[in-house]
Structure 1
Amino acid sequence: MDLTILYRGPLASCDYDCPYCPFAKRRDSPAQLRADRAALERFTAWAAERTDDRLSVLITPWGEGLTRSWYRRALTDLSHLPHVARVAIQTNLSCRTDWLKSADPAKVALWCTYHPGQTPYDRFLTKCRELGAAGIRFSVGIVGFPDHLDQARRLRADLPEHVYLWVNAAEGRTYSDPEAADWTSVDPLFPYSRHPHRSAGLPCRTGESVISVDGEGTVRRCHFVPAELGNLYDGSYRAALKPRACPLTTCDCHIGYVHLETLPLYDVFAGGVLERIPAAR
């Protein structure tokens, strides 16, 4: 079985205080951190045993995972498993990058977000250059607020041409055509993010070849549909995997709508769906 897993454990702490994020500067207690570590280690052990499956894993923590040693170790270990095709994580790139020397660069990838005002621009750019020098696959992105536009343009100019710079539409924001044109000049794929996608009743790969897993092992079709399909660790989810239509009215998050069969994004991001890297890069 080819299976893509979106893993999100209980970690909810972050070292940034972005005003648009509910997890800004949130601190997990030592007990919460121990629980998160145990959950991720359990998941990694499960993945190591699934040698009859071909797995792709995207870790999508609420907080920042790579400042925690167990996330760095999990990505490293998963990258060396023969039956894991890709392992990626969403990150603000505030961590050091030398740990990636122990990972398989053919398997590991980073989905990096630049948050203006949270880290010096030159520090972030230097880390991007370190990733490039190490041969690590990565994309870079930014949230499309008006006061981020100049920084996005600067970043696009300073990053190598082959590094994809994506732009996420700010939640709840409506973009005029001129505003959308500005962002599209930075990210040609911004039109996919500009508006929520109608999804009700439309076929989606989630729940069939893509699943969401939480720290308890509860399996759902995606992060945005609460209905449970079973549990990862007792195998009960497998009988529930089947083609199914989306029950929601719209889907407005890339990690959700990228899996809609009515959109061409599996072709657009062929070979880089998890790390959000278009096929041409």
Structure 2
Amino acid sequence: MTSDPAPWEWEFDWHLTNRCNFYCEYCHPQIRYVLNKKHLTEPDPDLVVRRFEDLDRACLVHMSGGEPFLFPGFVELCAGLTRRNWISINTNLASPELVARFATEVDPSRVAKIVAALHVPERERLGLPMGEYAESFRILRKAGFDVVALYVLYPPLLPRLREDLTTLAALGVEPLRAKVFKGVYGGRRYPESYTEAERELILANSGEYNFNRPYLDGMLAFRGQPCTAGMTSFKVTVTGDVRRCASVPTSYGNLYDGTFQPAAVPEPCPAKRVLVLSQCMAYLVDPPQPASAPAAAARP
């Protein structure tokens, strides 16, 4: 996640719950139409903490969903995990009371990153004021957490992008990343279908997110290249099954029942199309280097 040597040996990308208080139009179809309609019984936080500690490795646990703060006992889970490991969180910040508790009960030095997704249309649909999001954002920043806002560049949102970014900056929501949409809209696949004008707008307003350009340039597959996914980085499903990554479902046992076993050596990537480019860049044995996007100062 940074250019400095990481204090952890293994990384886990954990889809820890199907629960979500949003129903975003651009959510991945499997999550929106399948997973979020099937709420499974989540494991006890103490069990998960114990399973990670039993690995006897320093770990970074990325937590997403669904909405992580809706995991039963989420603050206790984070406090337990950060005793020996590190965490990062992808959240919509729509649980202000729990966010405030988290800010006082979890050690910020053990939280690598909090990515706070904005989901502006969904907030407007639900009548959730952006000021409430901004307040939670500021609480986390003041408590010492590395938190960054995330704006998904869904094609219908592009005409309002500059106005939204100006509004957020006035509310003190900085830094901000704008990330390309990956999926199908209007019968067209993205990010390939952005127009040239849309590409220029995206690259001028990406913030610190450096992966928009490689996505737009078609860097979507690394088939045959050796990768440490499955060896030192893993995808954990909502049922605890451990897979190689989001793009490759190779199984390595189950984290919850204690049967997880990693691969011994890096293996070539078999995916025809990757889902999370930033992870590929981190886990490939010899990754290409993404070009930096133009500075956000290009906004009018």
TM bin, normalised by shorter chain, reads 0.7 to 0.9
Please tell me whether residue 112 in structure 1 is matched to residue 112 in structure 2.
no
**Counterparts of 1:27 and 1:250 in 2: how far apart (Å)?**
26
1:87 corresponds in structure 2 to 87
1:74 to 73, 77, 84: 77
Please tell me whether residue 226 in structure 1 is matched to residue 228 in structure 2.
no
SS at match of 1:112: strand
Distance 1:92 1:161, change over 3 A: closer
Normalising by structure 1, report the TM-score.
0.78
1:163 to 169, 175, 186: 175
Aligned-partner residue type, residue 49 of structure 2: T
Aligned-partner residue type, residue 66 of structure 1: F
**Counterparts of 2:278 and 2:132 in 1: how far apart (Å)?**
27
Please tell me whether residue 263 in structure 1 is matched to residue 288 in structure 2.
yes
SS at match of 1:237: coil
User: Once the two structures are aligned, what percentage of the paired residues are identical?
Assistant: 20
1:130 corresponds in structure 2 to 139
SS at match of 1:208: coil
1:153 to 165, 187, 198: 165
2:13–2:63 contact (8 Å) kept in structure 1: yes
Deviation per CA, 1:63-89: give whole Å up to 9, x if none: 1120344222211221222xx1x2012
Please tell me whether residue 237 in structure 1 is matched to residue 261 in structure 2.
yes
1:44–1:74 contact (8 Å) kept in structure 2: yes
- The structural deviation recorded for 1:139 is 1.9
Distance 1:201 1:140, change over 3 A: same
Normalising by structure 2, report the TM-score.
0.74
2:195 corresponds in structure 1 to 176
- The structural deviation recorded for 1:17 is 2.0
Aligned-partner residue type, residue 129 of structure 1: R
Greater CA drift, 207-216 or 88-97: 207-216
Mind listing any 5+ residue stretches in structure 1 that lack a counterpart?
269-281
2:213 to 188, 191, 196: 191
2:232 corresponds in structure 1 to 209
- The structural deviation recorded for 1:237 is 1.3
* Number of equivalenced pairs: 255
SS at match of 1:248: coil
